[in-house]
Amino acid sequence: MSQPEVQEKAGLGFTHRQILVTMSGLVIAMLLAQLDNMIVAPALPTIVGDLGGLEHLAWVTTGYILATTIATPIWGKLGDLYGRRITFVSSVAVFLVGSVLCGMAQNMAELVAFRAVQGIGAGGLMVGVLSIIGVMIPPRDRSKYQGVMMAVMPIAMIGGPLVGGFITDHLDWRWAFYVNLPLGLVTLVVCWITLAKLPRGTGHARIDWLGTALLTVWITALVLITTWGGTEYDWASPQILGLIALTVAGLAAFIVVQRRTAEPIMPLRVFANRNFTLAGGIAFISGFALFGAIGFLPQYQQFVQGASATNSGLLLMPMMIAVMAVSVGSGIVISRTGRYRIFPIIGAVLVALGMFLFSTVGTGTSQTVTALYMVVLGAGMGAIMQTSTLIAQNSLEPRDMGAGTGASTFLRNMGGSLGVSILGAIYTHHLTASLADSAATGAAPVAASSMTPATLRSLPEAAQRVFEQAVTDGIGTLFLWGSAVAALGFFVALFVRHVPLRGGKPATPAPAEAAAVAPAPVDAVR
């Protein structure tokens, strides 16, 4: 690279070289966050079977996502107030403490609680990376540098499931959490050094503790409704009705507080921009699809297709490669052309189609066929994930970059939290109902609560077929509902209008794009 190129300011006061050095720490942090999700998924069947309780399967993931969802806007706002370096490094430390505690869990209650601790830290990882990039780099140039970030994703997406499966098969599932420690310690050191150039906070910030408490209350109540409704309690039971009332009251109080407080944890003014709100809706739907696919596909692969934990991780590769390829490809196209509107539209169609295809699987569906389905689903998610964040950040003022990015990430995590709890409840209900129907027809009863892939293989062949069919029924229904939700993303994406990305030459809208946005010269919501 020539000296003039080195000195050229690629970002807001940062040279190209400075951005790359700073991003080295962010890349490691992103690898840490991605690895945790990928490593744990193949180990879940064994973890649940070891600690006991199929009914807790969803909560192993839901507890983590719920805590991440609640913590995300908090970390984002803390970064705006106190500076992104100290808050980002603190979130890494909390994540590592949670990882150690998860590895030490002795029962499901402890594991769920410790996954929540881990999730609190994880909430700061993604929002920290995205908001730091958002501050450093203008939107038009951002996709180019996000390509550097995407370069690490193949390692996490492909290597993570393999490592998780290998640990489960040959070591102990607890190492799926302990493996975070060496990488996390490196992250702490590198990020503390490389993020030193970022602006510091004023030191005179006021935290919106009331807003934080109300946010926690209504989100937790909402997730409990989707988890317990129709399973633990009837929908008309006092418990569910009370939770519904608590959700509505908590949300209303939260909105009032956010409008009146000086430093809201989630400034509602960011939702006055139509594109920001639509991008948040797309992020919500993509989170629903992403966590639903990754969280429950190993159940089908291990119990029905007979894959080991290692191989089930390997079988996720087509989806992960598709996510990576489309994410990087769309980033390059957006950086060169400035056009982005088409990607969430196409992505939403592919996600809905991919989930519908998975709803058609049977006990005899081959791994080749499901691999093709994964490519469709992964391509859709790759087209949505980066683009929805880019659209959201292009709609934000610099003062709201942390809180706004936190709000956008919050919506994606909220989609994941509700997706896991809702889809998990659907999966468990149809699995147990299928087993009950089989027992009623004279088949040998099969206990699902402590079933592991190894236990299943030790059962008589007739009992294996009964359980495999039950898992297939649950998976098929789960993905059918998921495809219906994902289809909503297409209609949401249609209303996104092209706004030139800041930091580069405005792109000339395509004819179809221009026609779509011509009637809406100003935001519909003020």
What is the per-residue pLDDT across 107-121, written as a single tens digit (0 to 9) for each?
777 888 888 898 888
Average pLDDT over residues 459-469: 81
What is the per-residue pLDDT across 275-313, written as a single tens digit (0 to 9) for each?
888 888 888 888 887 766 667 788 888 888 887 766 766
The whole-number pLDDT of residue 137 equals 74
Tell me 510's DSSP state: P
The type of residue at 63 is G
Count CA atoms within 13 Å of residue 14 on its CB side: 26
Strand partners, 233: 229
Take residue 452 and report the two structure tokens written for it.
């592991």
Whether residues 109 and 246 share a domain: the answer is: no
Count CA atoms within 13 Å of residue 74 on its CB side: 22
Q: Is residue 512 part of a domain?
A: yes
What is the per-residue pLDDT across 205-263, written as a single tens digit (0 to 9) for each?
577 788 888 888 888 888 778 777 766 778 788 888 898 999 999 899 988 988 888 77
Q: Which domain holds residue 216?
A: 208-262
Which range among 9-23, 75-89, 242-256, 490-504 shows the weakest confidence by mean pLDDT? 9-23
Out of 220, 246, 262, a domain closes at 262
Whether residues 114 and 238 share a domain: the answer is: no
Inter-residue contact 343 to 384 (CB < 8 Å): yes
Residues 6+ apart with CB under 8 A from 353: 376, 380, 483
Take residue 192 and report the two structure tokens written for it.
């503390």
DSSP states along 176-224: HHHTHHHHHHHHHHHHHHHTTTSPBP-S-----HHHHHHHHHHHHHHHH
- Nearest-CA neighbor of 350 among 410, 262, 263, 290? 290
If residue 146 lies in a helix (H) or strand (E), which one and from where to where?
helix 139-150
Q: Name the domain count of the chain.
A: 2
Whether residues 233 and 268 share a domain: the answer is: no
pLDDT higher than threshold 60 for residue 269: yes
Question: How many CB atoms are located within 10 Å of the residue 188 CB?
Answer: 17
Residues 6+ apart with CB under 8 A from 510: 339, 342
The structure tokens 């009992």 sit at: 463
Q: Is residue 526 part of a domain?
A: no
Cα 122–chain centre separation: 11
Question: How many CB atoms are located within 10 Å of the residue 4 CB?
Answer: 7
Whether residues 164 and 274 share a domain: the answer is: yes
Structure-derived torsion over alpha carbons of residues 154, 155, 160, 165, reported in degrees to the nearest 10:
100
Handedness of CA 36, 209, 402, 412 (dihedral sign): positive
Residues 6+ apart with CB under 8 A from 225: 240, 243, 244, 247
Whether residues 370 and 251 share a domain: the answer is: no
d(CA 112, CA 105): 9
Out of 239, 262, 285, a domain closes at 262
If residue 471 lies in a helix (H) or strand (E), which one and from where to where?
helix 461-494
d(CA 403, CA 400): 5
3-state secondary structure of 255: helix
User: In the structure, what pLDDT confidence band is assigned to residue 43 with cuts at 50, 70 and 90?
Assistant: confident
Three-state secondary structure string covering 342-404? HHHHHHHHHHHHHHHHHCCCCCCCCHHHHHHHHHHHHHHHHHHHHHHHHHHHHCCCHHHHHHH
Q: Is residue 1 part of a domain?
A: no
When the pLDDT of each residue in the chain is averaged and rounded to a whole number, the result is: 76
Q: What CATH number is given to the structural domain containing 324?
A: 1.20.1250.20
3-state secondary structure of 52: coil
d(CA 17, CA 5): 9
Pick the more confident residue, 520 or 144.
Answer: 144
Whether residues 320 and 441 share a domain: the answer is: yes
Take residue 495 and report the two structure tokens written for it.
């209303």
pLDDT higher than threshold 50 for residue 6: no
Q: Residue 233 — φ and ψ, nearest 5°?
A: -135, 150
Inter-residue contact 455 to 326 (CB < 8 Å): no
d(CA 97, CA 118): 7
Out of 224, 247, 262, a domain closes at 262
Whether residues 188 and 250 share a domain: the answer is: no
pLDDT higher than threshold 50 for residue 353: yes
User: In the structure, what pLDDT confidence band is assigned to residue 25 with cuts at 50, 70 and 90?
Assistant: confident
Pick the more confident residue, 512 or 522.
Answer: 512
Q: Is residue 3 part of a domain?
A: no
What percentage of the chain exceeds 90 in pLDDT?
A: 5
Whether residues 241 and 338 share a domain: the answer is: no
Whether residues 354 and 245 share a domain: the answer is: no
**What's the maximum distance between 2 C-alpha atoms anywhere in the chain?**
80
Q: Is residue 36 part of a domain?
A: yes
Whether residues 321 and 242 share a domain: the answer is: no
Inter-residue contact 378 to 330 (CB < 8 Å): no
Take residue 323 and report the two structure tokens written for it.
């996510």
Whether residues 448 and 504 share a domain: the answer is: yes
d(CA 222, CA 154): 34
Average pLDDT over residues 130-146: 70
Whether residues 249 and 377 share a domain: the answer is: no
Q: Is residue 2 part of a domain?
A: no
d(CA 245, CA 242): 5
Structure-derived torsion over alpha carbons of residues 149, 150, 151, 154, reported in degrees to the nearest 10:
130
What is this structure's pTM?
0.69
